[in-house]
Amino acid sequence: MNPPERRKSGLIDRIAAPEWAAIAFAMLVIAGIWGVAFLSVRQSRDQLGEAAQNEILGAQNLIAAQVGRTIDAAGALLVGVDLWLVEQYDSTIVSDLELVADRIRRSQKSAIDIHLYDAAGDEIARGEYARRTLDAAERRSLLALAATPVDHVAVGLQIDNRATAPRIPVVKRAYPNVFNAAYIVASIPAGHLDRHFDRMLVTAPGTVGAIRDDGLIVYRYPDPESFAGMRFDLDTLLGSRAANRDAGLLKNVRGADGSVLTAAFQRIDDLPVFSYARFREADIDELGAARGRPIFAFAGFATALTLAMAGAVIWFERRRAREANRLRRALIDAEAANVAKREFLANISHELRTPLNAIMGFSDLMAAQPFGPLNDRYRGYAGDIHGAGRHLLSIVDQLLDLAAIEAGRLRLQPETLDPGEVIRDVAEMMRAIGRERNVRIVEIAPPEPFVTTGDRTMLRQIVTNLAGNAVRHCRVNGAVRLAWAQDGAERYTIAIEDEGPGIPAEDIGHIFEPFWRKESSTLSRRGGTGLGLMITRQFVTRWGGTIEVDSDVGRGSVFTVTLPLRIETANDF
């Protein structure tokens, strides 16, 4: 693999690492949390805006109706007073005007005062009502209506001075009369209208009111800054199309102070006056922000919790990775030690075989006495040397087999053979060992011989290990039986039975473990390395066969090996 491929693979591995996956998942969750939060706040703000629009639409309808009714009542009162004045021939009964006005107010169910003014703009005193002097603003407002036709009613601007409560004048030019009254003014108390519009706009703190065609504000509620009488550009406040429309809803228009407004307007009957209701978009934004604070606080808490969980996952993953690396290094070290052990066993076993062969050869030579007779004592020593060497050589062979199995260097060498021939050779060798304990070796041959394809050396090793184990554990004057037979068309079996102490059921699962010894058992006093059964099972299993144990404590054990009749190719195992 070239360096670019290694870099690419490392990048992919880092991206696919659990900690990066945790970070990516956390980022997705956080993005989802804040996306939902912003969407919720946006929806809440839109709902507030929609609710405020519905409120101003309803409010301007109510304002138009209430202001229209009030102005109509004022107009009816003015017409009635004007007719009464024309019919009078004596100016001394001007005090009766209040009785006439009161009768008309009761019929109209309105709380409107009546005032008479001469052509100069001075109020005409009537009865107990003292003459009141107009201030400059009131005088200008009154005289501005001088051009109004005599049959028309004009709406003046809200008047608010120190002497009187805020009121809205409705003016009519009077017909010639004996009282020299040029103008009749119906004064509508602003408080009379305020009561109708109190708490009308609950979603946003907007304003309602009435505005004339010339842009002058007639009435405004609430009016903490005394906007009444100020002039506004209708194109700015109501939109450039207001002159061509009698009602509408305008969005994103600029107020006099530059704020963005949403306004609903409607012409009041046939009067040159519009009712309007509006709210500032900034107020809706502020209310939406206030509602969004708990949502954003929860989103912040959820974000912190998600980051904490991601951090915990990364911490545990890195801890797991460190532990995995430690275990991996330990496994590598163990494997290296195992390889060194196998090499050591192989090397030391080969080194031991050479002197052992020499020892056994010379002990055989001494027992044969080719150079002269030996006394009985030395001849016995030679036999002991030969037996010990043979035992040591068997141990070395087992160590070599173990090293070869662990290294995977054993190889089946198939050949055609008669299993009975191999078993008889082993039985003959076991008889020499069994004489020391008076153990008889009994062969139980099949009715008809058969041939098989297998590894002669390995088969001999299997039978030798099992038979040697049986002879070693058989009771004195007992018997070891070796039986073999074909089992169907594909397999054959070898059974080796001893008359030993048997194996407890709880120990059968351990006897095939390497170097396993049970010190409390009589098995521990029979010698052996503890490798024979483990090696035998490895041979049988990797050959494709099975090995089974049937033991009866106090009566003996039977080891049954089942092997395939044919092995077609050589296999490493």
DSSP state at residue 447: S
Q: What is the pLDDT of residues 253-293, one digit of tens each?
A: 776 677 788 878 888 877 778 888 888 888 888 888 888 88
% of residues, the chain, pLDDT over 90: 4
Location of each CATH 3.30.565.10 domain in the chain? 410-564
pLDDT bracket for residue 483 (50, 70, 90): very high
Cα maximum dimension of the chain: 188
- Strand order of the β-sheet with 491-497 is 440-444, 479-487, 491-497, 556-564, 546-552
Nearest to 242 by CA among 266, 209, 218, 210: 266
Residue 482 has pLDDT above 80, yes or no: yes
Q: Region 24-44: what's the mean pLDDT? A: 87
CATH assignment of 410-564, given 3.40.50.150, 3.20.20.140, 3.30.420.40, 3.30.565.10? 3.30.565.10
Task: Read off the tokens for 431.
Answer: 């008889």
Pick the residue with more confidence: 67 or 353?
Answer: 67
Can you give the C-alpha Rg of the chain in angstroms? 60
Q: Phi/psi at 103 (nearest 5 deg)?
A: -65, -40
Q: Region 294-301: what's the mean pLDDT? A: 88
DSSP state at residue 271: S
Predicted local distance difference test score (pLDDT) of residue 537: 86
The rounded distance, in Å, linking the Cα atoms of 466 and 561 is 10
Residue 391 has pLDDT above 70, yes or no: no
Residue 294: Cβ-neighbour burial (10 angstroms; 0-12, 13-18, 19+): exposed
**Residue type at 407?**
A
Q: What is the pLDDT of residues 456-471, one digit of tens each?
A: 888 888 888 888 888 8
Q: Region 430-438: what's the mean pLDDT? A: 82
**Lowest-pLDDT choice from 9-18, 43-52, 198-207, 485-494:** 9-18
Task: Read off the tokens for 175.
Answer: 């017909």
Check the CA dihedral 21-24-28-33 and report its sign: positive
Residue 519 has pLDDT above 60, yes or no: no
% of residues, the chain, pLDDT over 70: 74
Q: Region 433-454: what's the mean pLDDT? A: 87
Residue 56: Cβ-neighbour burial (10 angstroms; 0-12, 13-18, 19+): buried
Count helices and strands (H / E) in the chain: 12, 16
Q: Region 433-449: what's the mean pLDDT? A: 87
Pick the residue with more confidence: 384 or 319?
Answer: 319
Q: Say whether the peptide bond before residue 4 is cis (omega within 30 degrees of 0).
A: no
Label residues 342-370 b or e (16+ Cβ within 10 Å = b).
Answer: beebbeebeebeeebeebbeebeebbeee
The rounded distance, in Å, linking the Cα atoms of 100 and 81 is 7
Neighbours of 329 (CB within 10 A): 10
Q: Region 205-215: what's the mean pLDDT? A: 78
Q: Which string of DSSP letters, residue by residue, matches 59-124?
A: HHHHHHHHHHHHHHHHHHHHHHHHHHHHH---GGGGGGHHHHHHHHHHHHT---EEEEE-TTSPBP
Pick the residue with more confidence: 433 or 225?
Answer: 433
Using DSSP's 3-state secondary structure scheme, residue 211 falls into: strand
Predicted local distance difference test score (pLDDT) of residue 228: 46
Per-chain mean pLDDT for the chain = 77
337-343 contacts at long range (C-beta below 8 A, 24 or more positions apart): 338/406, 342/403, 342/406, 342/407, 343/403
Predicted local distance difference test score (pLDDT) of residue 259: 78
Task: Read off the tokens for 90.
Answer: 């004596």
Q: In this structure, are strands 247-254 and 546-552 parallel, antiparallel, or unpaired?
A: unpaired
Tell me if the pTM is above 0.85.
Answer: no
Q: Region 30-56: what's the mean pLDDT? A: 86
Q: Where are the alpha helices (DSSP H) in 369-502?
A: 376-407, 419-434, 456-473
The rounded distance, in Å, linking the Cα atoms of 239 and 245 is 10
pLDDT bracket for residue 560 (50, 70, 90): very high
Predicted local distance difference test score (pLDDT) of residue 276: 80
Bridge partners of 221, per DSSP, are: 208
pLDDT bracket for residue 493 (50, 70, 90): very high
Nearest to 57 by CA among 266, 221, 199, 238: 266
Bridge partners of 188, per DSSP, are: 168
**Lowest-pLDDT choice from 38-47, 246-255, 457-466:** 246-255
Predicted local distance difference test score (pLDDT) of residue 324: 86
Predicted local distance difference test score (pLDDT) of residue 465: 86
Task: Read off the tokens for 449.
Answer: 């011989």
Predicted local distance difference test score (pLDDT) of residue 183: 85
Task: Read off the tokens for 406.
Answer: 């662990």
Give CA angle at 239 (235, 245), nearest 5°: 105
The rounded distance, in Å, linking the Cα atoms of 542 and 519 is 30
Contact criterion met (CB below 8 Å) for 477 and 464:
no
Q: What is the 3-state secondary structure (H, E, C) of 301-337?
A: HHHHHHHHHHHHHHHHHHHHHHHHHHHHHHHHHHHHH
Using DSSP's 3-state secondary structure scheme, residue 423 falls into: helix
Q: What is the pLDDT of residues 337-350, one digit of tens each?
A: 777 766 766 666 66
Output the CA–CA distances (angstroms, integers) from residue 420 to 326, 443, 444, 546, 569, in the order listed: 53, 9, 10, 19, 22
Q: Region 374-390: what's the mean pLDDT? A: 72
Residue 377 has pLDDT above 80, yes or no: no
